[in-house]
Amino acid sequence: MKTISAIKVAILSASNYITVLVNTVLFPIFPVMAQALNLTLRDLAILVGIVSFPSALINLGGGILADRFGKKIIIVLSLTLYGLGGLLAGLSIILMEEPYPVILVGRLFQGIGAATPMFLSVALVGDIFQSLERSKALGFLETANGLGKVTSPILGALIGLITWYSIFFIYPIVALPVAIATWKVIEEPNENKGVDWEKQKKAFRQFKDESRIITLLVAFLVIFILIGTMFWLSDFLEARLELNQILRGVVISLPALAMLLTTLFAERIHNKLNPRFIMGGGLILTSACLIGIYHTLETILFWPLIVALGVGAGIVLPSVDMVSTSVEIKEIRGVMSTIYGSARSLGGATTTITFSYLLEYGLQLTFYSIAVGGIIVGLIVLFRMNEKKLLPKELLPDK
């Protein structure tokens, strides 16, 4: 890869990495934050949800904005808003006696800013690079995304050693230079075709099919369980295991690490099994681990179950990605990806609030109700999903 191409890929990968940090980087400092600001678990859940809800909604319109104004300008504006939202939250903590409402406003800005860079950077790679360079560039973007999920709790724990609220100032420190670099270095092809409303309609018509709706539900549930478990871990580790902040960050990252490592081997699985077996089996594994975790809290089996939960998510998500990007009508693939991205963002948006509400009624009710729901959907996938309606013949596994 040429030097200038490598620089462009590094910039776009950095935007991916930065936006992934928006929530999980805060998990290790939540106990300290709750004590300092006198917040409840529900208050902390809202801090996460208020970021993810805008992402879920704006993902649907991000492609339209990019078609109208250009991908690069939307990424630059998004990263700027993302950084300034973190700055607003950080300054409110320093300057105000009751900063929580203003922190929420800053987090809302961050949610709006975090919505589009991830999938627009992928689209830009498709515009800028060709053939082998494109494949390599997409690989780097996916790696940056995975590393963000894995390293963010550890990074949050390390930064929190300075002061717990210093994390909020990291957002502008990293986001604004990347926004400037994107504006200066990335050259977007001048192909402003306007908004293709017929393309948008074709994409949404795909969801008349039952199998397509089922995969959307799978995308929602896997992220719901994964992020919800990581959120619960931040509270559990403080209350039960009394780990120091850095170790807490490492443990919180375990499910995400297991998910990342599993995705590296996902292609081998996909070449052998139909998507319904992968999605259904992976979702059932992820859900069953919640029940196992509840029964092994005081035993060594707790740790492999935390890892196995991430493995289940790592099995499912690449299959969902394949379904979302392999629709036979080529011109709607980008829109389809944003719809599935919205489902995943909605899972991240609702999970912390749901977990915090259910935890008030006990851990058993929380884990069993979510696990049973996930297992039921997994069984629906196994018995009702028809992958032949979702994938072209050449993408189905060899028999």
- pLDDT tens-digit readout, 164-177: 999 999 999 999 99
Angstrom distance (rounded) from CA 247 to CA 154: 8
Residue 370 has pLDDT above 60, yes or no: yes
Within this chain, do residues 91 and 240 fall inside the same structural domain, yes or no? no
288-315 pLDDT tens trace: 999 999 999 888 999 999 999 999 998 8
Q: Are 78 and 173 in contact (CB under 8 A)?
A: no
Q: In this structure, what CATH number is given to the domain that contains residue 101? A: 1.20.1250.20
Angstrom distance (rounded) from CA 137 to CA 372: 39
Two structure tokens written together for 368:
């069993």
The pLDDT of 47-54, averaged and rounded, is 86
The pLDDT of 310-339, averaged and rounded, is 77
DSSP 281-302: HHHHHHHHHHHHHHHTTTSTTH
375-397 pLDDT tens trace: 999 999 999 988 777 776 666 66
Q: What is the structure's pLDDT at 210?
A: 87
Of 186, 205, 239, the residue at which a domain comes to its end is 186
Range name among 94-98, 217-221, 275-279, 380-384 with the lowest pLDDT average: 275-279
CB neighbours of residue 265 within 10 Å: 12
The pLDDT of 233-237, averaged and rounded, is 85
Angstrom distance (rounded) from CA 75 to CA 115: 9
Tell me the one-letter amino acid at 219. A
Q: What is the structure's pLDDT at 366?
A: 95
Within this chain, do residues 182 and 201 fall inside the same structural domain, yes or no? no
Closest CA to 390 of 184, 151, 214: 214
Instruction: Read off the pLDDT band of 146 (50, 70, 90).
Output: confident
Residue 74 lies in a domain: yes
Angstrom distance (rounded) from CA 37 to CA 245: 18
Of 153, 186, 219, the residue at which a domain comes to its end is 186
Of 161, 186, 211, the residue at which a domain comes to its end is 186
Within this chain, do residues 53 and 112 fall inside the same structural domain, yes or no? yes
